[in-house]
């Protein structure tokens, strides 16, 4: 594969520029750029209906949405979370003065292991923040049973889980709140953006206050909020992207199936099990490079890079190994053996709608013939 043709793990799916021009002209003519303008309001309704949720509040990005979600529920003390995620998950806790407590993950799904959650609970524990890793749902029933038993809140980091449906509806309907990311690399994106999904209008009103500096009217401030609003430009892009997302997910599904067919018999390469949901979104395609593969994970990573392919060691290092977290007792590797092993073996392969079948076949050939 030519070195001047670079293939990345994911790329933002962009509609034709001419399709966006009418939105841009309308924004320009109205002179309404932010503060809950018409496209913002339209996108909230459209996403609520598409995702099958009761209420959704848009944000400028997923990280600010996580920070705000914790404030909405007035979470304090300790929160049990996963070390196997992007740093924004734990950073949102530190920004709120909350102590992260890391628990190990399930070896099959790489989501938080419910048995490890229960073992990590202390009198200071107030909430659980699981992550639907790679868009695959956590063990929702087990986590909710633990939360109910110990009177804990549950905030799902659902950054990867846009559009995922289970037998009982959207995965986003579980827990107290679910937080989405609409970053440019996600299945559905608004360049930058995010959202909080919540179950009732009262909670939605509090979220809307907190993301707008705490304003509850022109002269009234009810909380120390932040500027987390989504702009009209991002909301307009979201409305346009929503028209194409089903086709994008369908193509991702085809690529996922092709990888599984081509790599399924390669010794030392382990594809994570098919998510098996009623509707998955195929957000990522991670493989684990096991010890019986001829190359190490990092050697395979470099071999692909030398061919113009840019996989990603996602998630490596673990959050618990960064300087601001590694001093925590729960961050010790002995407490996180499954997550530690996964982080040392994982490699996410390219998956996005514009990736051609020939490119998938070439990536698989390089992996199959080390």
> What integer pLDDT is reported at residue 106 of this predicted model?
98
Q: How many CA atoms lie within 13 A of 207 on its CB side?
A: 28
**Confidence at residue 16, expressed as pLDDT on a 0 to 100 scale:** 84
Residue where a domain stops, chosen among 205, 226, 242 = 242
CA–CA separation, 75 vs 173, rounded Å?
20
In this prediction, what percent of the chain has a pLDDT beyond 90?
90
**Does residue 317 have a cis bond before it (omega within 30 degrees)?**
yes
Mean pLDDT of 269-282: 88
Is residue 137 domain-shared with residue 83, that is, in the same domain?
A: yes
For the cut 70, the answer to whether the pLDDT of residue 4 exceeds it is no
Statement to judge: residues 236 and 282 lie in one domain:
no
* Percent with pLDDT over 70 in the chain: 99
Beta bridge partners of residue 289, listed in sequence order: 269
The pLDDT tens digits for 192-239 are 999 999 999 999 999 999 999 999 998 999 999 999 999 999 999 999
> In sequence order, what DSSP letters do the residues of 154-187 get, joined into one string?
EEEE-TT-TT-EETTEEGGGSSSEEEEE--TTSS
Q: DSSP 3-state assignment of 316?
A: coil
Nearest-angstrom CA–CA distance, 62 and 228: 10
pLDDT digit string (tens) for 57-93?
Answer: 999 999 999 999 999 999 999 999 999 999 999 999 9
Residues 106 and 175 in one domain: yes
Helix (H, G, I), strand (E, B) or coil at 59: strand
* Domain assignment present for 10: no
Whether 235 and 249 share a structural domain: no
- pLDDT score of 352: 96
Residues 162 and 230 in one domain: yes
The domain spanning residue 293 has which CATH number?
Answer: 3.90.1150.10
Domains contained in the chain, number: 2
Determine, yes or no, domain membership for 133: yes
Mean pLDDT on 15-26: 88
Q: Is 148 part of a structural domain of the chain?
A: yes
What is the sign of the dihedral through the CA atoms of 15, 17, 19 and 20?
A: positive
Of 227, 242, 257, which one is at a domain's C-terminal end? 242
| pLDDT tens readout for residues 129-149 | 999 999 999 999 999 999 999
Q: Classify residue 3: in a domain, yes or no.
A: no
pTM of the predicted model, to two decimals? Answer: 0.96
Give pLDDT, residue 1: 52
Does residue 15 have a pLDDT over 90? no
Separation CA 193–CA 181 (nearest Å): 6
Measured CA to CA, the distance from residue 266 to residue 368 in angstroms comes to 6
Domain interval for residue 342:
245-368
> Tell me, what CATH number does 187's domain have?
3.40.640.10
Length of the chain as a residue count: 370
Q: What is the pLDDT of residue 353?
A: 95
Over residues 323-327, mean pLDDT: 98
Cα separation, 35 vs 272, whole angstroms: 42
Residue 275's pLDDT band, with cuts at 50, 70 and 90, is: confident
208-215 long-range Cβ contacts below 8 angstroms, 24+ apart? 208/36, 208/57, 210/68, 210/71, 210/72, 211/57, 211/59, 211/64, 211/68, 212/35, 212/36
Same domain, 132 and 189: yes
Residue 12 belongs to a domain: no
Asked whether residue 341 is assigned to any structural domain, the reply reads: yes
* Choice among 31-35, 42-46, 241-245, 356-360 with the minimum mean pLDDT: 31-35
The answer to whether residue 8 sits within a structural domain is: no
Residue 219 shares a structural domain with residue 253:
no
Residues 257 and 208 in one domain: no
Burial class from Cβ neighbours inside 10 Å (0-12, 13-18, 19+) for residue 32 reads: middle
For residue 217, the tally of other CB atoms under 10 A from its CB is: 8
In a shared domain, residues 23 and 95: yes
- Name the average pLDDT for the chain: 96
CB atoms within 10 A of CB 332: 13
Q: Which of 197, 225, 242 is the last residue of a domain?
A: 242
Asked if 347 and 279 sit in the same domain, the reply is yes
Per-residue pLDDT at 348 exceeds 80: yes
Beta-carbon count within 10 A of 162 CB:
26
Do residue 221 and residue 127 come from a single domain? yes
Residue 233 and residue 259 in one domain: no
Among 62-76, 252-266, 269-283, whose mean pLDDT is lowest?
A: 269-283
Residue 276 pLDDT > 80: no
2 domain-assigned:
no
Q: Residues 312-330: what's their mean pLDDT?
A: 98
């Amino acid at each position: 594969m030519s070195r001047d043709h670079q293939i990345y793990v994911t790329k933002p799916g962009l509609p034709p520029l001419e399709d966006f021009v009418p939105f841009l002209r309308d924004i320009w003519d109205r002179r309404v750029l932010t503060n809950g303008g018409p496209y913002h309001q339209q996108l909230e309704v459209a996403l609520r209906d598409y995702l099958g949720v009761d209420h959704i509040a848009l944000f400028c990005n997923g990280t600010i949405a996580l920070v705000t979600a914790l404030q909405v529920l007035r979470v304090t003390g300790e929160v049990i979370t996963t070390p196997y995620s992007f740093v924004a998950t734990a950073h949102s806790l530190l920004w709120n003065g909350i102590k992260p407590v890391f628990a190990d993950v399930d070896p099959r799904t790489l989501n938080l292991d419910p048995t490890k959650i229960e073992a990590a609970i202390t009198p200071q524990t107030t909430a659980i923040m699981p992550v639907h890793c790679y868009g695959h749902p956590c063990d929702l029933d087990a986590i909710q049973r633990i939360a109910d038993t110990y009177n804990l809140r549950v905030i799902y980091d659902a950054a990867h889980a846009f559009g995922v449906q289970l037998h009982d509806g959207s995965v986003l309907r579980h827990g107290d709140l679910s937080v989405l990311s609409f970053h440019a690399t996600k299945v559905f994106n608004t360049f930058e953006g995010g959202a909080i999904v919540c179950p009732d209008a009262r909670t939605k009103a509090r979220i809307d206050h907190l993301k707008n500096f705490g304003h509850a009217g022109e002269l009234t401030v009810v909380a120390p909020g932040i500027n987390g609003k989504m702009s009209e430009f991002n909301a307009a892009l979201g409305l346009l992207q929503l028209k194409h997302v089903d086709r994008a997910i369908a193509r991702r599904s085809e690529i996922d199936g092709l990888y599984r067919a081509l790599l399924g018999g390669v010794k030392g390469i382990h594809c994570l099990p098919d998510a098996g949901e009623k509707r998955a979104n195929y957000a990522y395609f991670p493989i684990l490079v096991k010890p019986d593969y001829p190359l190490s994970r990092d050697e395979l990573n470099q071999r692909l890079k030398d061919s113009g392919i840019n996989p990603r060691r996602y998630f490596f290092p673990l959050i618990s190994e960064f300087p601001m977290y590694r001093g925590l007792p729960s961050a010790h590797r002995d407490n996180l053996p499954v997550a530690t092993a996964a982080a040392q073996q994982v490699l996410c392969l390219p998956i996005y709608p514009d990736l051609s079948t020939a490119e998938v076949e070439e990536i698989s050939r390089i992996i199959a013939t080390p």
